[in-house]
Amino acid sequence: MSHEAPLPAGMPPGFDIRGNELCVAGTPVSELAARVGDRPFYAYDSALMSERVRFLRTHLPAEIDLHYAIKANPMPAVVQHMSGLTEGLDVASAAELGVALSTGVDPLDISFAGPGKSARDLEDAVSAGVIIILESFNEMERVAALAAKHHCQPPVAVRVNPDFELKSSGMKMGGGPRPFGVDAEDVPELLQRIAREPLRFMGLHIFTGSQNLRHEALIEAHDQTFALAQRLAAESPMPIQWLNIGGGLGIPYFPGDQPLALEPVCDNLRQRFSAWQAAHPDCTVVMELGRYLVAEAGVYVCRVSDRKTSRGQVYLITNGGLHHHLALSGNFGQVIRKNYPVCIGNRVHGDTEEVVNIVGPLCTPLDILGQRMSLPVAGIDDLIVVFQSGAYGFTASPHLFLSHPAPEELLL
Ligand SMILES: *Cc1c(COP(=O)(O)O)cnc(C)c1O
């Protein structure tokens, strides 16, 4: 490890550099590439996921359950690992439910959210006995019909579309008109109807948004979430035994992003939780996180297959791109494309740096991995490593677009 050289810009903690080469979970990236063969790959460090959960728990009130939202990274080995670190899993399709159940987690520690659940989704959820997060009046009726058909009492919770917004969230999921959940003002009516059906009412789910780096905004959202839950509880004919307050904790992706200040968020949560618990002593409070738990533990690795200069600009053309990592290309909900942190994995420090554009092999100008980045001079066969890639990478990308080989996934 060279001590004089600065670390690659934006490299998250937990990776090390040995002999000018990036190591993931202690293994040089070129060795991982040799293991995989020709294809680009994702590599996830399970120890970093464990470490992230441990760090979060040093701040989070011990009474709050932590769930892993598996859509962030549903690789079965990752889900298995996360199931051992958290109190439960959140799923959003029948296939994700299958992965979650195969970990052996208690069905009552699995919740199933998502608008427009299919007949198969609901059948599977009812027969597994997981908590079904109702997203509409119609969905409540469909679950009630299944309950009558199967002579069972499925556990359900109501997803609330709050009457406030999470400020400065990367992706808003609540407030205003939304396809998610039931508007807060209509929830009392839905609760009255649930009380008359063969449904086991568990509680409420209030999720305001994703990828937030501002602690002030999260604190305000938590204040409003508990206040809304309190108002709805007062109007509910049944006790609230389960309250899912969502997640929303962000990670730094781009130059200038600062890591979230966890301490003020958790200090505030402790107060809100205590007040809530005093009124609802038997209620389980759940925080569900995807990105925050796994994103920094993963890298995406591809290889330079060509290099050229066009009108004064250098292009590194790789065998990976937006078909493997859509978010990296700036096309997964971003308003303006910014560069993820990137390094040349087998040549972390170079004698000279140059400004390059890194692009993929697809015939579209959208296939961008890095724009005007200053990196050590690289050539054909060098490895491009993209950090912050453990969430919303592999499964959030259009692998079939242009029919190149899909990437590999490794859990280390
Ligand atoms: C996507 C999603 C999450 C996870 O969001 P992250 O930003 O990855 O933490 C949590 N809850 C629900 C309902 C979701 O849809």
* 3-state SS, residue 5: coil
Average pLDDT for 152-167? 90
Kindly state whether residue 79 falls inside one of the protein's structural domains: no
pLDDT at res. 168: 61
d(CA 249, ligand 1 centre) in Å = 10
pLDDT at res. 1: 46
Pocket of ligand 1 (CB under 6 A): 69, 71-72, 90, 113, 207, 210-211, 246-247, 288-292, 391
pLDDT at res. 333: 86
Q: How many domains does the chain have?
A: 2
Active site residue 363: yes
Same domain, 110 and 225: yes
CATH (domain of 193): 3.20.20.10
Q: What is the dihedral of CA 249, 23, 83, 174, to 10 degrees?
A: 20
Residue of 60, 68, 173 to test ligand 1 pocket, by largest number of atoms within 8 Å of CB: 173
For residue 380, what are the CA distances in angstroms to 40, 111, 202, 315, 316? 14, 46, 57, 11, 8
Kindly state whether residue 124 falls inside one of the protein's structural domains: yes
d(CA 133, ligand 1 centre) in Å = 13
Kindly state whether residue 81 falls inside one of the protein's structural domains: no
Kindly give the number of the ligand 1 atom that is closest to the alpha carbon of 113: 13
Model confidence at 169, pLDDT cuts 50, 70, 90, reads low
More confident residue, 1 or 57: 57
Of 253, 271, 289, the domain-final residue: 289
Model confidence at 6, pLDDT cuts 50, 70, 90, reads confident
Kindly state whether residue 78 falls inside one of the protein's structural domains: no
Distance CA 328, CA 388 (A): 9
CATH (domain of 315): 2.40.37.10
Q: How many C-beta atoms lie closer than 10 Å to residue 145's C-beta?
A: 13
| Residue 166 predicted with pLDDT over 90 | no
d(CA 222, ligand 1 centre) in Å = 15
Residue numbers of the domain that contains 239: 106-289
Average pLDDT for 109-119? 97
- Extract the runs of DSSP E, i.e. beta strands, from 63-103: 65-69, 88-91
Of 289, 304, 331, the domain-final residue: 289
Same domain, 303 and 390: yes
Of 223, 255, 289, the domain-final residue: 289
- Of 392, 386, 332, 333, give the one whose Cα is nearest residue 358: 386
Kindly state whether residue 332 falls inside one of the protein's structural domains: yes
pLDDT in tens, 182-218: 999 999 999 999 999 999 999 999 998 889 999 999 9
Same domain, 222 and 241: yes
pLDDT in tens, 18-58: 999 999 999 999 999 999 999 999 999 999 999 999 999 99
Q: What's the whole-number average pLDDT of the chain?
A: 95
Lowest mean pLDDT among 58-67, 207-216, 302-311: 207-216
Task: Please pick, among 23, 266, 343, 363, the residue that the annotation labels catalytic.
Answer: 363
Same domain, 33 and 142: no
Model confidence at 2, pLDDT cuts 50, 70, 90, reads very low
Same domain, 162 and 229: yes
Distance CA 236, CA 153 (A): 19
Same domain, 220 and 181: yes
Same domain, 248 and 300: no
d(CA 397, ligand 1 centre) in Å = 17
pLDDT at res. 334: 86
Q: What is the pTM of this model?
A: 0.95
**DSSP category for residue 184:** G
Same domain, 273 and 317: no
Average pLDDT for 341-364? 97
Residue of 53, 71, 388 to test ligand 1 pocket, by largest number of atoms within 8 Å of CB: 71
Same domain, 171 and 271: yes
Kindly give the number of the ligand 1 atom that is closest to the alpha carbon of 92: 15
Alpha carbon nearest to ligand 1 atom 2, residue = 69
Kindly give the number of the ligand 1 atom that is closest to the alpha carbon of 133: 13
Residue of 180, 210, 286, 294 to test ligand 1 pocket, by largest number of atoms within 8 Å of CB: 210
Kindly give the number of the ligand 1 atom that is closest to the alpha carbon of 211: 7
